[in-house]
Amino acid sequence: MWKSWLSLQGSILFSKKNEVMQKVIVIDACMRDEASRTRRILMPLVAELGKRYEVETIRLDGENYSAVGRKVLTERSNGYVPAEIVATAKKIAAADRLVIAAPFWDMSYPAILKVFIENMSLFNITFRDNGTYFEGLCKCQRVLYVTSRGMNVSTDSPLDGATPYIRAISALWGLGEVSVVAAQNMDYSTELEIEGKIAAAVAQGLEICREF
């Protein structure tokens, strides 16, 4: 009996050691570093996710990705995509979860995030079509979108130009359900109010992360 029990325990331990930790890709488009209110919300959430996931962060600063203009389109038409772009797109396609953090700029998100997404939107890597409709190819099952808004704009209001696009990209790439954590009216709040809004957003985000 004891031998059987020990054998079972050994099998469980061996199985746990050989489990592959699932992966989260964090796309960080917060360019004000520690002064970024969006990043202040993001970092505790990344720490929480790091307890259960392998976390890889892609920091966007506007320098690493070219806008998809005439030159890039011509290269793609000729079958050329830079190897580093393909490699990053494959990482996103293989990720189990995706976190996108970006401030609310000009009623939407920073242009660097759109440029990055356009670079990652590669046929037969993040999506394809079946002749009549598109089909997402990403493994991801859930997306967490983190933002802070200077103005008093609520998520999915007619003035929110960011969240609908994140949801549309999730549909195109097959990323799954999108959860949103947002703090708003930050530019018209006192320092005490700002701290309270950040704390509330972090608390909301942590609740999502525990089931993410």
Q: Which residues of the chain have pLDDT under 50?
A: none
Residue type, 202: V
Give the separation between CA 41 and CA 206, rounded to whole angstroms.
10
Contact 22, 97 (CB under 8 A): yes
| Residue 177: predicted pLDDT | 97
- CA dist list (Å): 192 to 120, 135, 148, 179, 188: 39, 46, 16, 26, 12
| Residue 33: predicted pLDDT | 85
Question: Which pair of structure tokens corresponds to residue 94?
Answer: 């293989």
Contact 142, 136 (CB under 8 A): no
Tell which residue, 199, 173, 30, 7, has the closest CA to residue 100.
30
| Residue 20: predicted pLDDT | 82
Tell which residue, 24, 70, 72, has the closest CA to residue 50.
24
